[in-house]
Structure 1
Amino acid sequence: MKKMIMLVLALSLTIILAACGDDSESASDKSKEGSKDKKTEETAQPAAEDVKITDKEKVDKDKVVTKINGEEIKGKQYNTSYAQTKTLMSQYGQDVSDVKNVKEQTLNVIVEQELIKQEATNKGIEVTDEEVQKQFETIKEQNADQFSAVLEQYNLTEETYKDQLAFELTLQKYMKQEIKGKEVTDEEVQKYYDKLKEQSKGQEGQEVPKLEDVKDQIKGQLKQQQQQQQLQAKVEQLKKNAEVKHMI
């Protein structure tokens, strides 16, 4: 499985983007325009499946499941994170029959999210209840028809969704303030573009647009990759210096 920070990001971003119905296109998406292969379209995103959570997998909502630098995380938060982790793992073809492994993955997610939140607080980054509520109402209003289905799919209530949204907004602010990334060069853009062209060879309906038409998208993607790598390195450093004690 990918490094856990990627799962942390996927958990937050997948939920937000699923609710938002994000329709933005990346450079690689644009290279696939015109393709009429329905099978490819259907498998481009992980399939949504109903994932069952048994009572044995749940923890009492008031039980302390872990302490992270002295901060207590209780069963209520664990149960929500466990359900999301198991759902996402299932969607990406991971084996969720081993509940011990799902528990370990969940605890890793919780630790990484909590360390990011603590680091953001140390850097003076705050997300107010008003910001969360405003974003929540916007998302709910724009996606009235599918909002409840998204919450159900990820085993969320409106309250736990707001908690997840608060983390997402905190992460966005932290990334903007602390994870700058270096300037993407024209040579890096050209290399990425050449790779796209090479990958599209022999694939019907996947003509790569002109470089000038996708240059900005490529730069954005490369910048994001750099930031994610820097964030991963930062989280690994935080984990090395953290005091973590699991109670389950």
Structure 2
Amino acid sequence: MKKLMSALLITIMAIALAACGNGEEAKKQSDDKPKTEEKSKEQQDQAKQMEEMQKKMDKQKVDKDKVVAVVNDEKLKGEDYNNMLTTSQMQYQQMGQDPTSKKVAEQIKKQTIDSLVGQTLLMQQADKKGYKASDEEINKQLEEVKKQYKTEKEFEKAMKDAGFSMDELKTQVAENIKYTNYVEKEIKVDEVTEDEMKKFYDQFASQQGQDKKAPKFEEVKPQIKTQLEQQKKQEKLVQHVEELKKNAKVDVKI
């Protein structure tokens, strides 16, 4: 049972559940195709490459019961580490990097354990300050997940296929809400200024090629503001975790 779950992980879990639900339909459509229809050699090669890549990435995982770190006497297990590792691997793939190369694999390992320790410290602090998720908040987020499915039966089947019970899902949703509430209320960031947005826009516009005209500043101003707010929040979050580490006992085991 996973103890920790960030806002990113709950989103990924919801996508995974949707994929499970859609997988049945995809299988049905595949079965309806003529038996004589075969994958092209290019598709077969691509599928084989993806399979080999997944095998290499799976080798980076640890035993689910292995203690990977101890944070203030709380033991973090391989199951939590492996879930966060998968997220890190996906991020590096999206950036066009091979997560199985020696250098990148080391970066991913460090990023994963740092993220896990940091999240644990934040959750411990949230507990210390009495943050909780209300039944109303939990039910609201569960309804958002359920909306991806046509029927309750489809949702329950997707849950079963993904290996979750409703109690486990509720617990994880509650942890996610508690984490999010703590970060939103405890991590304060300065307002994004007009000058900061214009500076960001000018840098973006200067990077566009001659044949590519940048949109007007006012058109992209809302997106720029959101991105800068997220950057500031992340920077403050990192600083906050570093402060928590100063008074914490952290023992990394891998």
TM range (shorter): 0.5 to 0.7
- Return 157-166 or 174-183, whichever deviates more: 157-166
| 1:200 positional shift | 3.0
Q: 1:237 to 1:191 in 2, by over 3 A?
A: same
Superposition RMSD in Å: 4.2
Structure 2 unaligned residues grouped into runs of 5+: 19-49
Mapped contact 1:66–1:73 kept (Cα < 8 A): yes
Normalized against structure 2, the TM-score is what?
A: 0.61
**Cα pair 1:20 1:143 within 8 Å, conserved:** no
Deviation, structure 1 residue 203: 4.0
Q: Which has the larger radius of gyration?
A: 2
Once the two structures are superposed, the pairs formed by residues 175-194 of structure 1 within 5 Å of their partners are 175-194=183-202
Aligned ranges for residues 36-115 of structure 1 at < 5 Å?
Answer: 51-52=54-55, 54=58, 57-61=61-65, 63-92=66-95, 93-96=97-100, 98=102, 101=106, 103-115=109-121
With CA pairs under 8 Å and 6+ residues apart, which has the higher RCO, 1 or 2?
1
Distance 1:163 1:86 in 2: 25
Deviation at 1:202, TM superposition (A): 1.6
Distance in structure 1 (CA, Å) of the matches to 2:169 and 2:79: 13
Counterparts of 2:194 and 2:60, CA distance in 1: 54
Distance 1:201 1:58, change over 3 A: closer
Q: Does 1:208 align with 2:215?
A: yes
Residue 191 of structure 1 aligns to a residue whose secondary structure is helix
Residues 133, 178 of structure 2: 8 Å contact kept: yes
Deviations 1:104-156 (A, max 9, x none): 443222211111111222333223566345413422422679x99x99xxx96
2:123 to 89, 96, 117: 117
- Do 1:11 and 1:88's aligned partners in 2 also have CA atoms closer than 8 Å? no
Aligned length: 207
Q: CA deviation at 1:210?
A: 4.7
SS of the residue corresponding to residue 242 of structure 1 reads coil
**6, 12, 36: which one pairs with 2:9?**
12
Letter in 2 for 1:96: T
Identical pairs, percent: 35
Can you give the 5+ residue segments of structure 1 that lack an aligned partner in the other structure? 1-7, 22-48
Structure with more of its chain in helix, by fraction: 2
